[in-house]
Amino acid sequence: MLDDLTGKIALVTGASRGIGRAIAIALAEAGADVAVNYLSRKTHAVETCAAIRKAGSRALPVKANVARAAAVARLAATVELELGPVDILVNNAGIVGVKPVEDISEADWDEMIAVNLTSAFLVTQQVLPGMRSRGWGRIIFISSVAAQTGGITGPHYAASKAGLLGLTHSYARHLFKEGITVNAIAPALIETDMVAGNLQASPAAIPIGRFGAPSEVAAVAVLLAQNGFLTGQTINVNGGWYMS
């Protein structure tokens, strides 16, 4: 039997646009109230919140740079105060940086790891004690086909996304008995601003022959939130690029 998400509190990082936005709205359509984290595009976040409210759920836009521990602590406290303790966490916020391999600097590496990987650790650590005390939680990491194949972006991006799979496996293992499932989604070439800004991204790279839609990733996130017997897995939403 699948879990009812009605009244559950979800936090989706990087939900102002793209995949995060679609996941936030899909969780709302499944009954959850949703905190919409963003970095700088407030108008987009407010628009995502309007779509969530239209679906009949509560919504809260929260600006925070999830790569910074102090900002993450404020984010978690604000969500708990305004909506309630987080039951469903989707670590989605991320960046790409397309450069020739030899031009990737230590600063590029540090920024990529901070935004794509450290952020997921920081937000998870903030909400985990509450999930444990309530005996129910869902943690979803948005990885990438780059973790599995190297992708088309660069080694710093691929490493950050592979690191998320390590977090998935370790958290899942620690939390088996506590009603908390932990999974990753590994998409490839989903039609968002991120892909529009990457000249190397072409539908020709995808066996199915087209980009994916954010809603096709969002449907998987909802399933992961509803299914208490599914943990420690990577669900590939990639048009057949990598087969597991």
Which stretches of the chain bind ligand NAP, using CB under 6 A? 13-20, 37-41, 44, 65-67, 92-95, 115, 142, 144, 187-190, 192-195
CA atoms within 13 A on the CB side of 203: 8
Q: Which H or E element spans position 142?
A: strand 137-142
- Closer to ligand NAP by CB, 132 or 221: give it: 221
Contact 86, 9 (CB under 8 A): yes
Which residues, in sequence order, are CB contacts of 163 under 8 Å at separation 6+?
113, 116, 117
Identify the active-site residue in 38, 157, 171, 242: 157
C-alpha span between 65 and 111 (Å, rounded): 12
Instruction: Choose among 16, 91, 27: nearest CA to 226.
Output: 27
CB of 54 to ligand NAP, least distance (A): 19
188 or 225, CB closer to ligand NAP?
188
DSSP structural state of residue 178:
G
**Single-letter code of the amino acid located at 47:** E
Shortest CB 146 distance to ligand NAP, Å: 7
Smaller CB distance to ligand NAP: residue 55 or 95? Answer: 95
Min dist CB 141 to ligand NAP, Å, is: 9
Q: Of the two residues 91 and 181, which places its CB atom closer to ligand NAP in the complex? A: 91
Residue given tokens 């450069």 in the structure block: 99
39 three-class SS: coil
Residue for token pair 């599914």: 230
Nearer to ligand NAP (CB atom), residue 63 or residue 132: 63
CB of 47 to ligand NAP, least distance (A): 11
Tell me how far apart the 2 most distant CA atoms of the chain are, in Å. Answer: 51
- Alpha carbon 170 to its chain centroid, in Å, reads 17
CA gyration radius, the chain: 17
Q: Is 171 a catalytic residue?
A: no
Tell me how far, at minimum, the Cβ of 179 lies from ligand NAP, in Å. Answer: 26
- Residues known to be catalytic: 157
